[in-house]
Amino acid sequence: MIKKGLSPRIRPALDRPGDGSDYRRVLPFKRAWEVIAILAVFDLIFLVPAIHTFQQAVSEWSKFDDLFDLVAALFLSAWLLGWSIAPILLTTVVALMMFGREVIKVHNDQVVIFFGLPGIGVAASYRVSSMRNMRIEHPQKKSGKSWRGDHVAFDYGANPMAVGSELDHHDLADILNGIRSGSGQSVRRGDATPEELSGEWQQPDTLALQDDPQDLPNSHQPDGEPLSLTSPSTLVLILVNLVPLAGAAFLGWDLGNVMVLYWAESAVIGFFNVCKIIVISRWFALLAVPFFIGHFGGFMAVHFLFIYGLFIQGPQDTSGGDLTEVAQMFIHLWPALALLFVSHAFSFVRNFLGRREYRNRSAKNLMSEPYGRIIFMHLVVILGGGLTLVLGESTPVLMVVIALKIWIDVKAHLKQRVKNISN
């Protein structure tokens, strides 16, 4: 549900008793021990496979001798990274429910409500002049605030806020007096002004580059018209994709070289997808990025093993793959890899940042976005590669495969830009 009206400024924060606040009070925090016990059991359930996988990954990293061992170590590490998000979140929730607290502080014209563990957590800042109707609220049993019991509530913009647990009118009077003495202002009563009711809150995973969500106008959309074949980023994409064509025609690149190069481009796409998640998600990226790297990294590790075994090593060779040969292959391809990186970097800077495409994106969408382009691209490449193996003459078919890949890349690039404009 989208909340409307004036919003608090929410940020990670430290809580120190001697931080210069004019008023500070640690509020009661209700502990639901039955819920804590249930969550702790689920936490243990998630921790057991995480610990087992960690032990396996350490074992693989300590003894890998060939490509197969390296891919196994990378896959286990990626799986562990993605899986660990669940026990990390559950452990954090259990710790908050057992040791968490709320602190209300007043400094100048700001009321700051801190929530978290002793010393570290999240703080929401409210302007005293915009706080209204502070009161004791008695929540219904099945409401989302029932765990608090009687608590302090106040209106801010169009939305009611809640703080504290099992408070009474004496606590309310102390808080109101603390706000009055600390800020020199009283919490007013009555309705909000039209300015306080305007605008919408931005969701945590769709915040853009401003420091304050209130600085992000709803009218901002990606700048400019949809891209065309003559747009700079499209031309750069086409030119860079001609490098494998030149390599196959003049440098003797075979099917394996091109397949590995396209695999590496998928890794580049994943890298810039991480950059996009960081731009959009801010501190939420601390969870989103490891989760994405976990599932995308595992996919990429297995994908490379498939490409190497089919197009480099050959189905008849049952060895694990020589790591020195793999390293030399990437060194041989590094100029083309560098150009592919520059192409995607140019598109990221010019389109995602420069044309403000981040305005209409969310971390949830970015989690799966690279797969559609990569899978479709590699289906065409693999089918073309299979045809090359059947015919025995690689160069003509390889040229066709590269041309198809260029067409797919350009089409996907233009389609993505149109999608970002229309959202």
* Residues 183 and 330 grouped into a single domain: no
* Residues 352 and 277 grouped into a single domain: yes
Instruction: Examine the pLDDT at 131 and tell me if it is beyond 90.
Output: yes
Q: In what order do the strands lie in the sheet with 110-117?
A: 9-14, 120-127, 110-117, 101-107, 23-27
207 within domain boundaries: no
pLDDT, average across residues 304-332:
80
* Residues 16 and 47 grouped into a single domain: no
Which residues contact residue 239 at a Cβ distance below 8 angstroms, ignoring those fewer than 6 apart?
343
Instruction: Examine the pLDDT at 45 and tell me if it is beyond 70.
Output: yes
**DSSP SS3 for 102:** strand
pTM of the predicted structure, to 2 decimals: 0.73
Q: What is the mean pLDDT of the chain?
A: 82
Domain residues for 392?
232-422
Last residue of a domain, one of 47, 65, 95: 95
* Residues 64 and 78 grouped into a single domain: yes
* Residues 341 and 357 grouped into a single domain: yes
* Residues 40 and 189 grouped into a single domain: no
Q: How many domains in the chain?
A: 3
Q: Among 168-182, 207-221, 297-311, 407-421, which is the least confidently predicted range?
A: 207-221
- Pick the most confident of 76-85, 201-210, 363-372: 76-85
* Residues 55 and 125 grouped into a single domain: no
% helix, strand, coil for the chain, step of 5: 60, 15, 25
- Of 111, 95, 210, 109, the closest CA to residue 161 belongs to 111
What backbone torsions phi and psi does residue 6 show, to the nearest 5 degrees?
Answer: -55, 135
Last residue of a domain, one of 43, 64, 95: 95
227 within domain boundaries: no
pLDDT at 343: 86
* Residues 278 and 257 grouped into a single domain: yes
Run of H or E residues at 106:
strand 101-107
* Residues 167 and 304 grouped into a single domain: no
* Residues 382 and 298 grouped into a single domain: yes
Q: Facing residues of 125 across strands?
A: 9, 112
Instruction: Examine the pLDDT at 270 and tell me if it is beyond 50.
Output: yes
Instruction: Examine the pLDDT at 156 and tell me if it is beyond 90.
Output: yes
* Residues 386 and 278 grouped into a single domain: yes
pLDDT per position as a tens digit, 236-265: 778 877 877 777 777 777 777 888 888 888
